[in-house]
Amino acid sequence: MTRELRRALRELTDVSPPPDLAARSIRLAERRRRNRIALGAVAAVVVAVSVAVPLALRPDRHSTPVPIAPTPSISPDDSASPQPASRVVVSAYARATPGSAGGWPPNGGSYVLDRATGQYRKMSYEVAVPAPDGKRFFVADAERGGIMDGAGGPVHWVASYGSQSRGVEWSPDGRQVLISSIGKDVPGGFTVVDATTFDEGPFVTVPDVQSLNARGLGFFWSRDGRTVGRTLSSSGAESDPDRTVGIRFYDLSGRTLRTVAFEGTAIVRTTADVSPDGRRAVAVDESPNRRVRIVDLRSGAVTREFAASGVAGWYDDDHLVVRDRDALAVVDLTGQVVRTVPGSSDLLSGAVVHLVPAAGLPAASARYAF
């Protein structure tokens, strides 16, 4: 074999062939064969890892693979309403809002998500409002409130919170907490608390809180984190219930910046009602009609309207999370359901559902994301 190879190489080139050409050729072929086998083994390992990782991340460590996110509802026209890509998680099931805490009979405690353990922990506090990252909570009962580190950590009590408080809102960046007071014998307004140092700013008086607040609503943050808004409402005759007459925006000194004409019976309640891009809000009609309206916050125009029993917040700029007694659902802005999330009626019934982004959620809590 060596003699034939050497002759062929001499005829084709001017290079003198090495004396052990055949042996070298055999060794090269053998190395290439071993490399192909090794690469095949590596590919098999990669496939095995890609299959095993989802199983290893399951909190219950069962071997049967299941999707971490809920299965989208089956619809013959999914193309008309594409599946949303972002994900959220319920960070708290609160038993009361700041304005309803301390009622009779007692509402019971709230449940908050412990991100590290992947468990919902029951708190004795009726009010539990999570920070945007879900790592802290503003908790409260009828008389006092404060910022709790983690799920069940120490609470830093805030003097600005009391029986006249009607709203607690985290700023979009999680650095500040807005506490609204409707006032009783004194003008209403708000206080801004630094969520890191716990320094409390001055009480900012807003005179129209008493004159245009028949519904007793607090303030909500704009998405820029520099201005706040409030739904204006006035009292009518007994046959004409309290009506919405506009949405007004203020700077953090209480100065009126602009007022958007918006009339009817629907209200923008909290920061969760404002879309992520800050351009729209969902206004909830709490009358027996149970309808929601998508309102442009620049013009006050209603761009969409549909029936819904309740709204938890925005899923992304084009979808909302709505709720009933035993389930949550992601819907587009026509009300079409694109994803259903079965829940527990024990948790959902009568609860205020607080959503936060699921980005950065530890694996132990990933099963709750949708």
Residue pLDDT, tens place only, 72-91: 332 333 444 555 555 899 99
pLDDT (tens digit per residue) in 17-64: 444 544 444 444 444 444 443 334 333 333 222 222 222 222 333 222
Residue 346 lies in a domain: yes
pLDDT (tens digit per residue) in 205-214: 998 888 898 8
For residue 124 the two structure tokens come to 């004795």
Total structural domains within the chain: 2
Q: What is the mean pLDDT of residues 167-192?
A: 91
Residue 278 lies in a domain: yes
Expressed as residue numbers, the domain containing 324 is 78-368
Closest by alpha carbon to 156, among 141, 137, 169? Answer: 137
Alpha helix ranges (H) inside the chain: 2-12, 21-57, 208-211, 345-348
Residue 294 lies in a domain: yes
Average per-residue pLDDT for the chain: 78
Q: How many CB atoms lie within 10 A of CB 236?
A: 11
Residue 122 lies in a domain: yes
The answer on 306 and 263 residing in a single domain is yes
Which amino acid, 138?
F
| Position with higher pLDDT, 334 vs 289 | 334
The answer on 92 and 19 residing in a single domain is no
Cβ atoms of 196 and 128 within 8 Å: the answer is no
| DSSP letter assigned to residue 79 | G
For residue 261 the two structure tokens come to 């004409």
The answer on 47 and 99 residing in a single domain is no
Can you tell me the distance from the alpha carbon of 120 to that of 338, in angstroms, rounded to the nearest whole number? Answer: 26
Residue 105, preceding peptide bond in cis (omega within 30° of 0): yes
- Please check the confidence at residue 240 and state whether its pLDDT lies above 70: no
Contacts of 197 (CB under 8 A, 6+ apart): none
Q: How many CB atoms lie within 10 A of CB 207?
A: 13
